[in-house]
Chain A
């Protein structure tokens, strides 16, 4: 007997009808597909038949016709199947068969975190990946470091966005457009050859789904930001008394002879910090028909700064469109275009002369409206009124970026697929700065005797052209699966810039600040330009074997040539091998209730870093050639060679070893990943490395060459543990923890005993070094041993006279005579810390209970050091309140030296200024509520989530500065806090709607 069946198919979660679901009578070829409304009609179905509903990305469902009359079918999306695929560059692998060390962050985590910058989604969520913001100011970029710092040069990883090289900074990508972020940490990245040494971050953006009606989402949030911390500084009375004491200790007249006369008590931090708003709106439409899917999205973010919100802010507008269509069974075309507009304004937020630096150092006895400090206490030339500084700051930065890719995939024979892809980035950067004529007080460095406008326009263009062929074949009854990829990539980038500056802006006003409008003449009108060009050509192949589903082996070979490589080293080969063994596939182990899956993997390979200055192998006539010639004794210009060329210049080589173990335990609820890694970076490119004078390095405009001359090693352990459990229909939770250790050591520098960098205070020796046997960029300074309590102690100690030209006095810091030569001088400097954490970790948990969803993300660094360098060394500046505990007589302090205006060595770079930078930060706490579907159906909304979130909620740290997480990211000289603009704490309310 046969019947006709009418029914419909929808998504069990969203209730959305599914288009194009295959409905087949089991055991036959007879069937149909659902229409646009998810409905189907199947005629002449035997009453004992079983219907099979199958749909890509969903679990297949079988329904026995005899058992039901209601054919309203709901399909469950197969998250397991989707999560299982991991992009690995020029292809993908199932996570199960992955042989390299790879971390991923999925859309869900990004949705939870809703970071301003996609880079922050990696912070604390991925083992071995360190993300440090360059500043808390709006629009600041973050540094990403994968498994330590391996080079004195550029340590940032390669960013691949939907297959093409993306150099725009993650700040220009809308985080809500991201489907997944994948980090290749080991030799797996060798497919990227000379660009892969710093690791590779692969970003896949969201696409539409086939056979799905348009899904519209709208996400928005509004937040208020404030500073997490104000430094404890002296109030007016404390300040006056301590300053008096400084003078008294030096036998000088007191600057505040009558402290009872103090009237003004300005809290300068209160003056400069503000509560600032942040607003984000994001809309997307995604869907697809049987052969085509599409995705459109647009977003706008407007963030104001917590210091000077009107002068410091960031606006990002993005639009993205992607289309993917099967033109024929064998031909797929896709296009993906992203537009970003960034606008920002900024205040001086960095180092000596920053607004916060001034707020910390200016005297509390000065009224906020004293924009010109003449007649107030002398604070030296560098400290000015921060409010006056804000009022005189004018700038505007705008960038427009268009990036995208076009791709064709042709399956010309079954299992033989050819992919051609063209990716591009095109960007315009536009910067305008205005410095009005203003007098901050006699001889202040900020003073502008005349106004000036600076303009700067840059444009960059690059393309990546990929052509590769993939063959997937099975042999021996599917016992052996082989995937072979062979291809090439051509990359070109070109940049140009024009700069100009002019004085004489009419009315001293930003309104008229333009080079064309300004009227200045003379030496202060300057201009300049640059042109850059870089090309790379690569061939690569990868072969992946899987035997009996348990023995896995991948070999990668890539060949690179690049316009940066000299004639003597023009071609680079990068080989790697990765292997895996799925132990639980073996009969003698098998799976059981406890152990569901176990895979042992190992990888070794070589990768390169070609991010080096262009054309180092070529002699450029950029030297200075000026001589005096002729009767009139005129300066005459000729031409001379610039920096010495190095024809042997080549890429840096990273040798990466990784041994790992992946486990799934307890009914797949516990995931464990363990890794040991060893990255050795050889042939580090060291600029200006001292070189014999016979090469003319001392000639004007010349300099020593850049040479491959160093080795840095990073090694450590990583572990990631995840546990997820669906306790009941109403309650489920998951918890993820990751930890990694870093050991960093410089093992070789040729031609120089050490390299130094960084800056501490003014006019002091560089505080950071790169030296064999030490971590890269370790702090090099004097070691302290308490405070001299009395003259006897001073006399019993080796003389410290050489340090500051005066003998130490009781109350001064006692420095250790490290080299034991009976005298304390700069030769006694030694390792007093390093900015690289020993251990980094992240702990993230989330649970859902009925309609509520809670998540918390946290991360921690242990064992990093940070240098306190935001106190100006001037007699009358304000001080941290810790100085109240200063030494004032025998036994009063063993930590804080006396205060004095006299010359002392106390201000020299020593471990007195080095603090433990370890911290634990609760980054995000979020509580969401899903409005019940019943309440929504009437208004046509399929899902509505309301949430409240706190970002940067708490930081547990001993560090006394604003923010232990901020760093310049400089390999040598990072970890020195010049008064970083702290990351704000943000309280926000948000709304996610799906239609």
Chain B
């Protein structure tokens, strides 16, 4: 049979003119190309943002009717089950990101070239970013530090404990921070501060204040960032306009464009921010904005949470009736369900502005997502310093920076009062940006704030039913689902 196997070379063919896994990662260019491939799925994380917001007490699901995007409606009412296409999207899209980043890490030793460590570091940052989203949403998840999952491993690799997943994320981030350059190599890519801020956040989510504070302070002390609107001709109220994209407040920002068309067949393929078109005012006709599908509607209670002189109310929420009165704009109302429907308010931070994006225009809005803002870093640092009993004075300073920028006066509180203030500022500062639900969960306040929320069941979302089936019993369902 040695003769046979020798002749068997005849059939050892490669697909002609195609790059395959076997011949990839042989030049520096390959690594750079693969890294772009790993950034690409960040655009699909719009689902985390809009659904995270709907899950919280900030907004209603909205939409055309009480059954429009039924998975979102269920999450809004905290009635979701493992059968939910939209929660499945969160799983699939973020694991797609993990897979692509892991592909680079798996091949990190294949060749050496100048600048490789930066690319590997960014891949680790991205893997940590996607895995952090997954652990926030689903708790324990399968992990594979050495590389990509291979077919069949869904039935053998278990869900690692939340603790192990966090250790794995921290490890990726620590390795990334060690190798990353201070400055981002290119607008849109992660810098050392991006990784530090994310690591601080990861520690904060585990109440590891002693570990969170220094790494967040490092970002603040780097001098690279400032609150937008505090220098030159910057206008705070423009923070979410196009001209403030990738500003000095942006520690990490997901990039979008309207330069390429998209369709409903593959929402995750869009180069635009799908959340924005879905958040637009239904049937809108008027100045400044474009129309959209009317999802993710801030509630009256959210609107009322702002003091009248807080600039952030105008920054964050569009009162459509007032706007229509003022400008003559017209619009329609879709879902009128009292629990999930029309509120009269829209998520102004991520509304579609008039622009020349390509069709389907609802899917290709170019608004960048400010994933980690300097204001968030200040508030996270303040929280770590305060709740870790490290330095209330410094914490207060950080909080006041955020307050003053919003047009509020400085305050002087400490201890648990300061903690409450930080929580409140987080809500007001970050409304509409997808953080609220997870802030409530990690601080144990979700059950009191969110109607229908049951702890501990709703602290995480159910593993999609499909995944339970694929694993053939390897992965168990989250408790209570």
CB within 8 Å of B: which residues of A?
A: 490, 531-537, 539, 559, 561-563, 565, 570-571, 614-615, 618-631, 633, 635-641, 644-648, 690-702, 705, 751
Whether the Cβ atoms of B151 and A691 lie closer than 8 Å is: yes
Chain B residues with Cβ below 8 Å from A646 are 151
For the residues of B in contact with A, the DSSP-based class is helix
**Complexed CA–CA distance, A532 and B89 (Å):** 34
Chain B residues with Cβ below 8 Å from A619 are 20-21
Scoring B residues 264 to 282 as 1 if CB is less than 8 Å from chain A, else 0, what string do you get? 0010110100000000000
Whether the Cβ atoms of A490 and B37 lie closer than 8 Å is: no
Contact partner, B268, options A690, A700, A751, Cβ 8 Å: A700
Could you show 7 A-B contacts with beta carbons less than 8 Å apart? A537-B8, A624-B40, A628-B188, A633-B366, A692-B149, A694-B142, A695-B154
The stretch of B26-34, B197-205, B443-451 that contacts the partner chain: B26-34
CB within 8 Å of A: which residues of B?
A: 4, 7-8, 10-22, 24, 30, 32-44, 88-89, 91-93, 95-100, 103, 142, 148-154, 186-189, 245, 255-257, 259-260, 266, 268-269, 271, 366, 464, 466-467, 470-471
Expressed in whole angstroms, the minimum distance between the Cβ of A195 and any Cβ of chain B is 14
**Complexed CA–CA distance, A700 and B92 (Å):** 11
**Complexed CA–CA distance, A805 and B25 (Å):** 55
Whether the Cβ atoms of A696 and B37 lie closer than 8 Å is: no
Contact partner, B255, options A490, A571, A621, A628, Cβ 8 Å: A628
Whether the Cβ atoms of B11 and A633 lie closer than 8 Å is: no
Contact partner, B36, options A570, A636, A699, Cβ 8 Å: A636
For the residues of A in contact with B, the DSSP-based class is loop
Please give me the 9 A-B residue pairs with the lowest Cβ-Cβ distance, nearest first.
A638-B36, A696-B99, A640-B37, A625-B37, A693-B92, A619-B21, A698-B92, A699-B96, A628-B255
Whether the Cβ atoms of A621 and B18 lie closer than 8 Å is: yes
A621-B18, A695-B149 given; A635·B259 CB < 8 A? yes
Chain B residues with Cβ below 8 Å from A635 are 257, 259-260, 271
Q: Name which of A559, A631, A633 has the most chain B CB atoms within 10 A of its CB.
A: A633
Whether the Cβ atoms of B189 and A629 lie closer than 8 Å is: yes
Whether the Cβ atoms of A693 and B20 lie closer than 8 Å is: no
Whether the Cβ atoms of B271 and A638 lie closer than 8 Å is: no
Whether the Cβ atoms of A698 and B467 lie closer than 8 Å is: no
Whether the Cβ atoms of A629 and B266 lie closer than 8 Å is: no
**Complexed CA–CA distance, A692 and B186 (Å):** 34
Contact partner, B467, options A533, A536, A693, Cβ 8 Å: A693
Chain A residues with Cβ below 8 Å from B269 are 624, 700-701
**Complexed CA–CA distance, A637 and B34 (Å):** 10
- A627's nearest neighbour on chain B, judged by CB, is B39
Expressed in whole angstroms, the minimum distance between the Cβ of B389 and any Cβ of chain A is 40
Chain B residues with Cβ below 8 Å from A644 are 151
- A570's nearest neighbour on chain B, judged by CB, is B8
Expressed in whole angstroms, the minimum distance between the Cβ of A541 and any Cβ of chain B is 13
Whether the Cβ atoms of B470 and A705 lie closer than 8 Å is: no
Whether the Cβ atoms of A537 and B40 lie closer than 8 Å is: no
Expressed in whole angstroms, the minimum distance between the Cβ of A422 and any Cβ of chain B is 15
**Complexed CA–CA distance, A647 and B269 (Å):** 26
Q: Name which of A534, A624, A628, A638 has the most chain B CB atoms within 10 A of its CB.
A: A628
Whether the Cβ atoms of A640 and B10 lie closer than 8 Å is: no
- A623's nearest neighbour on chain B, judged by CB, is B37
**Complexed CA–CA distance, A693 and B130 (Å):** 13
Chain B residues with Cβ below 8 Å from A614 are 15
Chain A residues with Cβ below 8 Å from B245 are 633
**Complexed CA–CA distance, A183 and B245 (Å):** 70
Chain B residues with Cβ below 8 Å from A696 are 95-96, 98-100, 148
**Complexed CA–CA distance, A539 and B3 (Å):** 12
Chain B residues with Cβ below 8 Å from A625 are 33-34, 36-37, 40
**Complexed CA–CA distance, A646 and B471 (Å):** 17
A629-B186, A639-B33, A639-B34 given; A694·B154 CB < 8 A? yes
Whether the Cβ atoms of A698 and B96 lie closer than 8 Å is: yes
Expressed in whole angstroms, the minimum distance between the Cβ of A620 and any Cβ of chain B is 5
Whether the Cβ atoms of B466 and A690 lie closer than 8 Å is: yes
Q: Name which of B93, B95, B266 has the most chain A CB atoms within 10 A of its CB.
A: B95
Whether the Cβ atoms of A691 and B470 lie closer than 8 Å is: yes
- B266's nearest neighbour on chain A, judged by CB, is A700
**Complexed CA–CA distance, A282 and B95 (Å):** 64
* Beyond known contacts A623-B37, A699-B99: 8 more, CB 8 A cutoff: A621-B21, A627-B43, A633-B366, A648-B152, A694-B98, A694-B153, A696-B95, A700-B41
Contact partner, B92, options A562, A622, A697, Cβ 8 Å: A697
**Complexed CA–CA distance, A645 and B21 (Å):** 10
Contact partner, A633, options B30, B257, B464, Cβ 8 Å: B257
Whether the Cβ atoms of B21 and A641 lie closer than 8 Å is: yes
**Complexed CA–CA distance, A534 and B11 (Å):** 8
Contact partner, B100, options A618, A626, A641, A692, Cβ 8 Å: A641
Q: Name which of A565, A624, A636, A698 has the most chain B CB atoms within 10 A of its CB.
A: A698
Whether the Cβ atoms of B99 and A630 lie closer than 8 Å is: no
